[in-house]
Amino acid sequence: MVTDETWVDTSPGGLLHLLRTGRAATRADLVRLTGLSRGAVTARVGALAAAGLLLEGADLASTGGRPAAALRLDPDAGVVLAVAVGRSRSQVGVFDLAGREVAGDTRDHEPGTGARDLMPDVAARLGSLLDGLVAPSAPRARVLGVGLSLPGSVDPATATATDAPVMRGWDGVALAPYLSPVTDAPVHLDNDTSVLVRSELFGRVPVARDMLVLKASTGLALGIVADGRLVGEGRGTTGELGHTRVEEAGDLLCRCGATGCLETVAGGWALVARLQEAGRSDVRHVRDLAALALAGDPEARQLLREAGRHLGETLAVAVNLLHPEAVVVGGDMATAFDLLTAGIRESLHARAHPAAARALRFVPATHGEAAGLHGCAALAIDRALDPRAVDALLRE
Ligand SMILES: [Zn+2]
């Protein structure tokens, strides 16, 4: 992966990376940025075009691109598959290489459904989505990779969950074999908050170079973006905000086994439990809670606002330490964005240093409820179009 902005990879894959990230748009740009001769650039561009990865000037003119000299990744050179698995819902989708969803579907499942029961269904759904894209006799689109996400910690190297307390029956289960009936493309696994962050960084100018990305859902987690990059990217874990000890939680027992965690007073699972204890058997998931709050249910509104206040107290520490420009809020609680952030702002501004909090902006996740799915697609595209992966594809 090209990580240093001053170092330039001069392989064909490196050139495609320059075009894809907007640093180059023409052969002349590529000559200037790489120091390669015009002939060398032409040969590499030719190889990329022959592999169907590049669109050149003439092809672009009709779509309003710059004439003659312009070069661009062909977003239809292949597709990636995205799978975002949550505690009680799975989303699957097919995306083009520009990160646009071509087809997708969402289904609920019983909380606690294990990998062995869910993954064959996921594979079947992906298969039908792919079949639906083409005429019956035509070949399927070229699948370049699969991006998959799970709540909890995962091991990206082996594509297995390592510590998913809300996902019984997933830890240690190899997931890639379940997808082999659909594709033999590489399967990349990351955790749900990491892919949420990716969805904010992929193919667009992010809301801010320094920001916090809060996933407020069944659990509570935090991704830290510093200078446009996710801190700890590729480790398969994100900030365990929800398991920070807070005074208000007293000795309440958390799902992690400890007591006094923030999640016990502000996590979706705890809020749902509170409503159920109060006799609200219609509330089964934090999505139900958010929907009730939006519909004006006073109990649900109160719970979400209070959860926001608890969250804001802990977030204030992160804001003091990191001075982010923005907090992006995603996850199922973010459906009731205004309510939740009203609570967060209240306590955060009371606790954080004014210099750190004054200009802080709160914004909802760009892709809303589909943010995780978009992030899974971004993961697969970034891996598939990594310069080394592209060079390997060209050698085949
Ligand atoms: Zn905990």
250-263 pLDDT tens trace: 999 999 899 999 99
Q: How far is the CA of 101 from the centre of ligand 1 (A)?
A: 35
Fold annotation for 79-197+372-395: Nucleotidyltransferase; domain 5 (3.30.420)
Q: Please name which of 85, 212, 190 lies closest in space to residue 145, comparing C-alpha atoms.
A: 190
Domain ranges of the chain: 12-73, 79-197+372-395, 205-365
Angle between helices 337-351 and 298-322 (to 10 degrees): 40
Where does residue 343 rank: exposed (0-12), middle (13-18), buried (19+ CB within 10 A)? Answer: buried
Q: How far is the CA of 340 from the centre of ligand 1 (A)?
A: 21
How do residues 37-76 score in pLDDT, each as one tens digit?
999 999 999 999 999 999 987 555 555 544 557 999 999 9
pLDDT score of 138 more than 70: no
Mean pLDDT of 158-171: 84
pLDDT value of position 1: 46
CB 362 within 8 A of CB 329: yes
Share of the chain above pLDDT 90, in %: 81
Q: What CATH number has the domain spanning 12-73?
A: 1.10.10
pLDDT value of position 87: 87
Q: Please name which of 253, 258, 227 lies closest in space to residue 240, comparing C-alpha atoms.
A: 258
How do residues 184-215 score in pLDDT, each as one tens digit?
999 999 999 999 999 999 988 899 999 999 99
Q: How far is the CA of 272 from the centre of ligand 1 (A)?
A: 16
Q: How far is the CA of 247 from the centre of ligand 1 (A)?
A: 13
Q: How far is the CA of 186 from the centre of ligand 1 (A)?
A: 33
How do residues 8-23 score in pLDDT, each as one tens digit?
899 999 999 999 988 9
- Among the residue ranges 53-67, 70-84, 315-329, 342-356, the one predicted with the least confidence is 53-67
CB 387 within 8 A of CB 1: yes
pLDDT score of 152 more than 90: no
pLDDT score of 246 more than 70: yes
Q: How far is the CA of 273 from the centre of ligand 1 (A)?
A: 15
Q: How far is the CA of 268 from the centre of ligand 1 (A)?
A: 13
- Interstrand relation of 326-330 and 160-163 (parallel, antiparallel or unpaired): unpaired
Q: How far is the CA of 279 from the centre of ligand 1 (A)?
A: 25
Q: 131: alpha, beta or left, given left = phi > 0 and alpha = psi -120 to 50?
A: alpha
Q: How far is the CA of 135 from the centre of ligand 1 (A)?
A: 50
Residue partners of 69: CB distance under 8 A and separation at least 6? 26, 27, 28, 57
pLDDT score of 141 more than 60: yes
Q: How far is the CA of 282 from the centre of ligand 1 (A)?
A: 26
Q: How far is the CA of 224 from the centre of ligand 1 (A)?
A: 20
pLDDT value of position 6: 67
Q: How far is the CA of 175 from the centre of ligand 1 (A)?
A: 26
Strand-by-strand arrangement of the 187-191 sheet: 101-108, 89-96, 79-85, 143-150, 187-191
Q: How far is the CA of 187 from the centre of ligand 1 (A)?
A: 30
Task: State how far the Cα of 255 lies from the Cα of 270, in Å rounded to an integer.
Answer: 9
pLDDT score of 364 more than 60: yes
Q: Measure Cα distances from 77 to 72, 344, 391 in Å.
A: 11, 44, 15
pLDDT value of position 225: 97
Q: How far is the CA of 79 from the centre of ligand 1 (A)?
A: 38
Neighbours of 250 (CB within 10 A): 10
Fold match flag (79-197+372-395 vs 205-365)? yes
pLDDT value of position 163: 80
Q: What CATH number has the domain spanning 205-365?
A: 3.30.420.40
Q: Please name which of 102, 176, 181 lies closest in space to residue 377, comparing C-alpha atoms.
A: 102
322 — pLDDT class (breaks 50, 70, 90): very high
pLDDT score of 2 more than 50: no
